[in-house]
Amino acid sequence: MSGFPFSAVLGMDDLRLALLLNAVSPAIGGVLVRGEKGTAKSTAVRALAALLPPVTVVTGCRFVCDPARPDPQCPDGPHPGDGPAGQRAARLVELPVGAAEDRVAGSLDLERALGEGVKAFEPGLLAAANRGILYVDEVNLLHDHLVDLLLDAAAMGRAHVEREGVSVSHAARFLLVGTMNPEEGELRPQLLDRFGLTVDVRASRDPAVRVEVVRRRLAADADPVAFAEQWRHADLATAAQVVAAQHRLATVVLGDGALRQIAEVCAAFDVDGMRADIVIARTALAHAAWQGREQVLAEDVAVAARLALPHRRRRTPFEEPGIDQQTLDEALQRAADTQPPGSAGTDDPGPENPGPDDPGPEDSGPGGGSDGPDGQGPTAPGEETSGDSGSSGSGPTGSDPAENPTPSSGPGATAPADSENLGRARLLTASGVGRGVPGRRSRARTGSGRTTSAVTPSTARSAGLHLPATIRAAAPQQVSRGRERGPLMLRPHDVRAAVREGREANLVLFLVDASGSMGARHRMQAVKGAVVSLLTDAYQRRDSVALIAFRAGQAQTLLPATSSVEAAVARLRQLPTGGRTPLAEGLHAAAELVRVQRLRDPDRRPLLVVVTDGRATAGDQPLPRAWLAARSLARSGVGAVVVDCESGPVRLGLAARLAVELDARHVPLAEVTVDRLTEVAGTQIAARATHRGRVA
């Protein structure tokens, strides 16, 4: 046995249970594992593959067809019923973050497809993962269109490849497991909902557990073979229990009472759609089979809801996932109270007929009867479980002023920005056409979008074949190639690639004035509310964000460039105010952060959002120094927006002057979340003329 044994993974009971339930019933839809770094997420997933039973395959089939039920549309088929077959271990296929769509879904031999009319298909990772495990580490960093592709294949059990009118379809039934660190950014709610189960994991805070984790890791590193042998019997017992549960699954009964409990729970947590009900039903069936029961009980529904609901319940973008245990218990009790006597699936199950692999009523963990070498279960005494880690109540996260600011009086006031009623932020974009990470903000050359031109593949960033241009390039050469009739003969230099224009994600750098003048008359509450709206917009458009605040004579980078918009909201909530206004220092700090970020990621364009009233009171000649720093930023090509927070009957127009020096768009604070105008940040001549006219 190679790798770290599954039974030796200490703690993480919910993680192990979610993985094993998906092994019992892949129809659940996979597992999303959220957790801090260094919590054995990847170790547990890789160890699971060794527990899965071997698969019988058609010999020579690249798509892992089952000889008992071959795929009628298999590109390597048709397969005769009495053809050669063999067995091999279930495969774990890892999808790298930087994989292209062709590598994931597969690609066509274009020369053979166009010249000979044959579907010469080169399988991708989806084909390799058929009847196995597809593992995506850092799934939140994967491009959204690839995540969509994976989840569609996992839901339908098939992968479809369309390339310029040539279509291929093959089976793609796999256990999908994604891991992510929430500090690096969240998945969109629409994608979160497509994962069957989710688990939040964190390292135990119990010193005894941490000592045992280190002891096992060092033992595995020192002698992997001996360590694997030490845990071999425990893993074999767990693997046998998986096989037994798979066979038992078809006979488990999901009664009307259990269905009523599932519906009551989903209604109590106000989840959207019906996917949650279906996933909980499938998970409860798998859990009952895992426990050796022939009927789904209330405890099966409770476990299934705890794993299937945290990422589905209605929540704001910055609210931590989780469910309230009391709400879950009350919903189950209501369902039990309304059931007629004798209904199946109640809390009184009646006599049970446990299977031979039933681990007993006290064993609710994923290890079942898998004892470690010391005769104990794989969970150490005093060990913490991960089931409730990261859980929160089902309601809003609180009434922090950053999310629920009191509207200020006067012309500069904004609407309340509580977590449920944020206004939609005005679209702020960088000027020109970029070539950065696909997203939803600024124009860019991307792999998706409308086709604008055709180029030779090596001359520019392109996205797939441009078929008409390829044919136009090859057609005049057919006579010289001896093809006056018949199929088109292609040469590599005939191929033309499509150039497409879509949208990109940007680095949105918030430079927030937190000086004393901003704190007057509760203005900072309105500012925080407006910035939360802009952060929500950045979250939805897949941007990276950074946060710099300047106050008390200095500028401080509260959050370096990150994909975790949630971290920016947390920093904003804690932002203090007071002191003089070092505007120049803030602009210099922004310029330095942009410079460093361009070295790390030259394709991601920055968009600077300066939130200030334009005052500068710190240091010598504060205003001239600030305008000089602004002109320097403008020359470096940074797109910018100035959110003017000045209020009151007497206005100096300093923020508008700053916008002129930055070549930036000027937006009053009250209009940040107004939907009636379309905003464009950049160097548009009309915008600059408006700013200069305003100042004049």
Catalytic (active-site) positions? 275
How many Cβ atoms are within 10 Å of 178's Cβ, its own excluded?
27
Note the helical H segments in 157-274: 189-192, 207-222, 224-230, 232-249, 256-268
* DSSP-assigned letter for residue 53: P
Residue 184 near residue 142, CB atoms below 8 Å: no
In angstroms, rounded to a whole number, what is the distance separating the alpha carbons of residues 394 and 385?
21
Tell which residue, 525, 533, 459, has the closest CA to residue 493. Answer: 459
- For residues 640 and 387, the answer to whether their CB atoms sit within 8 Å is no
Q: Which three-class secondary structure string do you get for 411-461?
A: CCCCCCCCCCCCCCCCCCCCCCCECCCEEEEEEEEECCCEEEEEECCCCCC
Three-state secondary structure call for residue 631 = helix
Nearest to 45 by CA among 102, 90, 97: 90
DSSP state at residue 188: P
What is the distance between the alpha carbons of residues 401 and 398, in angstroms, rounded to a whole number?
9
Which 3 state secondary structure label does DSSP give 177? strand
Token couple for 32: 């999303």
Give the position of tokens 């280190």.
214
**Tokens 């150039």 -> residue:** 499
Contact 544, 568 (CB under 8 A): no
- How many C-beta atoms surround the C-beta of residue 595 within 10 A? 12
Contact 690, 646 (CB under 8 A): no
> DSSP letters of 309-326?
STTTS---TTSPP---HH
Cα–Cα separations (whole angstroms), residue 98 to 103, 203, 363, 643, 687: 10, 28, 41, 36, 38
Whether 41 and 33 have beta carbons less than 8 Å apart is answered as yes
Which of 554, 555, 577 is CA-nearest to residue 402?
577
Give me the numbers of helices (H) and strands (E) for the chain, helices first please. 22, 20
* Residue 599 CB burial class (10 angstroms; 0-12, 13-18, ≥19): exposed
Neighbours of 481 (CB within 10 A): 12
Cα torsion 379, 232, 94, 71: sign: negative
From the list 214, 137, 221, the residue with the least C-alpha distance to 179 is 137
The letter for the amino acid at 637 is: G
Secondary element (H or E) of residue 34: strand 31-35
Report DSSP state, residue 669: G
User: What is the SS3 assignment for 517-560?
Assistant: HHHHHHHHHHHHHHHHHHHHHHHHCCCEEEEEEEECCEEEEEEE
Report yes or no: 132 and 90 within 8 Å, Cβ to Cβ: yes
Alpha-carbon distance of 159 to 173, in angstroms, equals 9
* Rama region for 450: left / alpha / beta (φ>0; ψ in -120 to 50; rest): beta
